[in-house]
A and B are shown apart, each in its own frame.
Chain A
Amino acid sequence: MTTAIAEDGVAVVRRVPLSRGYRFEVVKLVSQWRIRLLVLACWIAPALFVAGVGQQSTLPSDTLFGRWMHATGWAGPLVMLGFAGTWALPLLTSAVAGDVFAAEDRLGTWRHLLVAVRSPRGIFVAKSLASLTVILLLVAGLVCSSVIGGLASVGDQPLVGLDGHLLTPGDAAGRVVLAWLCALAPTLALTALGLLGSVALGRSPMGLLLPPLVALGMQVAQMLPLPVAVRLALPGYAFISWNGLFTSPAQLAPLLIGVAVSLVWAVLATALAYLLFLRRDFTNLAYDGAGRRALTVGLLPPAALTAVTVAVVAVATPSTGSGIEQNKVQRSVATAFAHLYRLQTRQLHRPAVTEAKLRTTAACTKSDGQGAQEGAGNDWRCVVTWHLPDVAVAGTAVYQLDVASDGRFVADGDGPKEVNGYFLVRTPTGDAPNPLWQFDGNVELLDTTSKG
């Protein structure tokens, strides 16, 4: 409790080191009951959810990997990731980063903090790092809890990938972790937007709402029939493109582009928040957000960034259309069918057969062949043909496809009943879910991955 005095008797000016400011901010954050509740929820609720759903007869088959939650514990963390990208992560980033600056406005503690820390830069960095720490703690909770819940309730079984190929438990574990790591990039972008909203809009609730609103906007945009270049240039695309890790070969190009765009957004939004924060007049008690400056500094650069990233992606990848083309749909359906047929063969204890020997092909049409044979829609119909060794006649099966504009599709078997027309198959040990009845897949929107 001493004052630093130089040898000549003149008091010295000393700033608080970043590590102490960071600790101060973490203490303030975790002392809030709201944050404690979130931490508790993120570390407990996913395990309960995954374990609970794993025991139900009805599975969340509208969510990616939801239909495999009975089969393996590794599907649970992926279902949770899909849910987190849509709801949990935007709300968590909003509750933490979206309030970290505004809270000081609400409490009227800015002057106290400035007198104590003496460096707006130090305060900004400490608050940003503290928010990031808490958000990472929450994300870690979602991952660990859902993994533990899945493994405890269902077990460490192989996971069926998005193209039907089987991932060993070890491979599935690695890819689950990688998928969550990739989702950190858009989470960082939302965190930075939360910081920007918190700085720019002060105690206004709009600051708190910025991450969920942006996330909602991005989700709506992904549902629209936008060109691929626009889709990939949006910061939320990495919440979708992690799907590409579960195909063979992995669809890395859209994933890496999505991650890179998210990180650029994170850097830009943080830099804007930093500039707005440093320009703030802390002597003005009536301050209630940066007002007009928030609009110019907070909206124009992100709009410009969107335009630039769209242009860069459009130039770097020849992808100005929907990316959902007939030949890609056919290839995806055929690949997934071949992998899943092998799975069904194993279930039925039939002689093993390889994908190569099956020589599976798919003939897909949209709107019964009327109009352009590309784009999203639930009017795709595919006829899959395959060959069995020593069988002269080729087998055929029909699927109705609902293809979303982000490339995801659900293939719904339309017969024959013995192959894909019924949700159960009769195995020597009893009835089992038919893997060919309905399956998820995705069409890679870019033309970069080698054909699978």
Chain B
Amino acid sequence: MDALLAVRARGITKCFGDVVALDGVDLDVTQGQIHGLVGPNGAGKTTLLGLLLGLAVADGGRLEILGTPVERALAVPDGVAGFVDGPGLYPSLTARQNLAALARLRGHDARTAGIDEVLDQVGLTDVADDKARGFSLGMRQRLGLAAALLTGPRLLVLDEPSNGLDPSGKRQVHRVLTRLAAAGTGVVVSSHRMDDLEALCSEVTILATGRVVFSGPLNKLAAENRELDYRVRTSDPRAARRLADDTDGIRVVEDTRTRQDAEVLVVRALVPALDELVAHLVRSGVAVRELAPVVSPLEAAFLALTEPQEDGR
């Protein structure tokens, strides 16, 4: 048993009648890590998150949370918090009352439970005394996060925490999660927003039809996998195109999204070939003003690993 592991799952299976929701899933989440969980709808993400929160118990396999084997439902150890399918809030209570009720439920004095601090962390201080009934989806998400923070979690499990968040709210949530992870909390985040996960996570697990199709660091996903499309904006597009055609492993592709922009070239390449193209451009005196993947490595991997039949590349 690794003391640093917040989650250790081996061969987890879970069925609902004839439907196999999880099929031999392995998952390791170390403490202090933000781990992303990606997969198409019906891949088993919510089921897996439910197991981590103790809402259900696996039919097979072994699950350890914070070093404690979980063998029956609702038997996860203290220190696990989060939500699946949206946060549970009571609309007739204010934001502060929701948190106070939760704090008292856990045996804390509502006055000293740190309610103001967590409301401040998620940016809801101004609406602390408003009924949750009038909250937008983003505010509800943030209040749900505040409720989870209130418990001082050592493992935080969040399902689509960025749903409905505006850019400022998203940044606030990211800041909270990053700070929490830095303090040693293991965080498992499920999301369909690849940009979110790339910004937050050090490792991801991709699920498809209940199975793990990739699990590991994000950079490994980019390096070990397939060619990606990159946008290259240069000072001399014509010269850049010629150099791209001359570089081994580089293909220039037509991209409808960049066709209107004459300065942009879209190339398909592995990372080493791309490095070589950049070197050629620089040596030829062509300034590189922008270089970015058209589709993020995570999204590309997600599409490739979960929908291989549609990948025409």
- Whether the pair B78, A4 counts as a contact (CB closer than 8 A) is yes
| Nearest Cβ on chain A to B74's Cβ, whole angstroms | 4
Interface: B56 (CB within 8 A):
yes
Interface: B222 (CB within 8 A):
no
Residue-wise interface mask of B (1-26) relative to A, using a CB-CB cutoff of 8 A (1 in contact, 0 not): 00100000000000010000000000
Interface: A303 (CB within 8 A):
no
- Whether the pair A115, B105 counts as a contact (CB closer than 8 A) is no
- Whether the pair B78, A111 counts as a contact (CB closer than 8 A) is no
- Whether the pair A115, B53 counts as a contact (CB closer than 8 A) is yes
Chain A positions within 8 Å of B88 at CB level: 107-113
Chain B positions within 8 Å of A4 at CB level: 77-79
Say whether, besides A1-B151, A112-B88, A117 and B105 are in contact (CB < 8 Å).
yes
The residue in B78, B80, B84, B107 that gathers the most chain A C-beta atoms within 10 A of its C-beta is B78
Chain B positions within 8 Å of A9 at CB level: 3, 67
The residue in A9, A27, A112 that gathers the most chain B C-beta atoms within 10 A of its C-beta is A112
Choose from B54, B68, B90, B107 the contact partner of A11 (Cβ within 8 Å). Answer: B68
Measured CA separation A5–B152 after assembly (Å): 13
57-114 of chain B: CB within 8 A of chain A: 65-68, 74-93, 97, 101-108, 113-114
Say whether, besides A1-B114, A33-B92, A109-B90, A116 and B105 are in contact (CB < 8 Å).
yes
In the complex, what residue of chain A is closest to B1 when comparing beta carbons?
A10
Interface: A359 (CB within 8 A):
no
In the complex, what residue of chain A is closest to B118 when comparing beta carbons?
A1
1-17 of chain A: CB within 8 A of chain B: 1-5, 9-14, 16-17
Measured CA separation A284–B17 after assembly (Å): 12
Chain B positions within 8 Å of A12 at CB level: 68, 77-78
Chain B positions within 8 Å of A87 at CB level: none
Chain A positions within 8 Å of B190 at CB level: none
Chain A positions within 8 Å of B153 at CB level: 3
In the complex, what residue of chain B is closest to A120 when comparing beta carbons?
B74
Measured CA separation A93–B84 after assembly (Å): 32
Measured CA separation A282–B74 after assembly (Å): 11
| Nearest Cβ on chain B to A125's Cβ, whole angstroms | 14
- Whether the pair A111, B53 counts as a contact (CB closer than 8 A) is yes
Residue-wise interface mask of A (1-42) relative to B, using a CB-CB cutoff of 8 A (1 in contact, 0 not): 111110001111110110011011001100111000000000
Measured CA separation A150–B104 after assembly (Å): 42
The residue in A16, A27, A108, A285 that gathers the most chain B C-beta atoms within 10 A of its C-beta is A27
- Whether the pair B105, A20 counts as a contact (CB closer than 8 A) is yes
In the complex, what residue of chain B is closest to A30 when comparing beta carbons?
B92
Chain A positions within 8 Å of B91 at CB level: 107
Interface: A114 (CB within 8 A):
yes
Interface: B55 (CB within 8 A):
yes
| Nearest Cβ on chain A to B283's Cβ, whole angstroms | 57
Measured CA separation A252–B107 after assembly (Å): 47
- Whether the pair B105, A24 counts as a contact (CB closer than 8 A) is yes
Chain B positions within 8 Å of A2 at CB level: 152
Interface: A283 (CB within 8 A):
yes
Chain B positions within 8 Å of A32 at CB level: 92
Say whether, besides A11-B68, A24-B105, A114 and B74 are in contact (CB < 8 Å).
yes
66-125 of chain A: CB within 8 A of chain B: 107-120
Say whether, besides A13-B77, A13-B78, A111-B84, A282 and B55 are in contact (CB < 8 Å).
yes
Measured CA separation A289–B267 after assembly (Å): 55
Choose from A16, A110, A111, A114 the contact partner of B105 (Cβ within 8 Å). Answer: A16
Chain B positions within 8 Å of A285 at CB level: 85
| Nearest Cβ on chain A to B76's Cβ, whole angstroms | 7
Measured CA separation A315–B133 after assembly (Å): 56
| Nearest Cβ on chain B to A283's Cβ, whole angstroms | 5
- Whether the pair B101, A28 counts as a contact (CB closer than 8 A) is yes
| Nearest Cβ on chain A to B126's Cβ, whole angstroms | 21
| Nearest Cβ on chain A to B284's Cβ, whole angstroms | 58
In the complex, what residue of chain B is closest to A28 when comparing beta carbons?
B90
| Nearest Cβ on chain A to B43's Cβ, whole angstroms | 16
Interface: B150 (CB within 8 A):
yes
Interface: B161 (CB within 8 A):
no
Chain B positions within 8 Å of A284 at CB level: 16
Residue-wise interface mask of B (112-123) relative to A, using a CB-CB cutoff of 8 A (1 in contact, 0 not): 011000000000
Chain A positions within 8 Å of B81 at CB level: 115
Interface: B233 (CB within 8 A):
no
Say whether, besides A11-B68, A109-B90, A283-B47, A21 and B105 are in contact (CB < 8 Å).
yes
- 12 A-B interface contacts by CB (under 8 A): A11-B78, A12-B78, A16-B106, A20-B106, A21-B105, A28-B101, A31-B93, A107-B89, A107-B90, A108-B85, A108-B86, A115-B80
Given contacts A3-B78, A11-B68, 16 further A-B contacts (CB under 8 A): A1-B150, A1-B152, A3-B154, A4-B79, A9-B3, A9-B67, A10-B67, A13-B75, A20-B106, A27-B101, A31-B97, A108-B88, A109-B89, A111-B83, A112-B83, A114-B54
- List the 9 shortest-distance A-B pairs measured between CB atoms, nearest first: A112-B88, A11-B77, A3-B79, A109-B88, A11-B66, A1-B152, A31-B92, A118-B74, A283-B56
